[in-house]
Amino acid sequence: MTTNNTANECVILLHGLARSAHSMDKMAQRLTEHGYKVLNIDYPSRALPIEQLAEQTISDALKQCHDMPVSFVTHSMGGILVRQFLSKHSIKNLNKVVMLGPPNKGTEIVDKLSHLPGFGFVNGAAGMQLGTSELSVPNQLGKANFDVGIIAGTQSINLLLSSLIPDTDDGKVSVESTKIEGMNDHIEMPTTHVFMMRNEAVIAQVICYLEQGKFNH
């Protein structure tokens, strides 16, 4: 069903590290059904540092939205790309941002495993930038000065990785790390990092935030 207030809005989807646009297909389908113009962007997440990925990926996507209001729905590192871009640019038609499992304060997994042989090869330059130190990219980007709602998962299918994270987590990112100063809303959901963007309840919350500016708590 198409809602009246969404027919002229462009929603840019940004997948996470080492994933592809295919991982956001179900999200794209549901948003399209709700009347949004959806751009499900594929970008080479392991090929470049976050700064370059953000500049190239988001600049190109915005051109396809023309003068329409723009919102973003991101998974994991996709949210850091949006924060990076907005730290350097303003988007005049920016409406809302919904982040799923973003490592907004980094992840302990990078802290503890980045020294291992092959970690940099598997996760690329951008993955190596997602630690929890004050000098990591997420922790250098500051508070949100845009309308953002954040969904954090509380279940894990990787107990080994979860053992490296001190607090409740989704298997990759702690609930605490998803939070950011200046966020408009935050909700925890019983879902995992790798599957949250395909979870129907999560998708319903994304649509709720895009339409109402808040989650259904």
Per-residue pLDDT of the chain (217 residues; tens, 9 = 90+): 233 334 589 999 999 998 999 999 999 999 999 999 999 999 999 899 999 999 999 999 999 998 899 999 999 999 999 999 999 999 989 999 999 999 999 999 999 998 888 888 888 899 999 999 999 999 999 999 999 999 999 999 988 889 999 899 999 999 999 999 999 999 999 999 999 999 999 999 999 999 999 999 9
Phi, psi of 62, deg, nearest 5: -60, -35
CATH code for 10-212? 3.40.50.1820
Residue with tokens 């980045």, as numbered in its chain: 114
40: nearest Cα among 56, 61, 63, 71: 61
- Contact in structure between 140 and 106 (CB atoms under 8 Å): no
Q: Domain locations in the chain?
A: 10-212
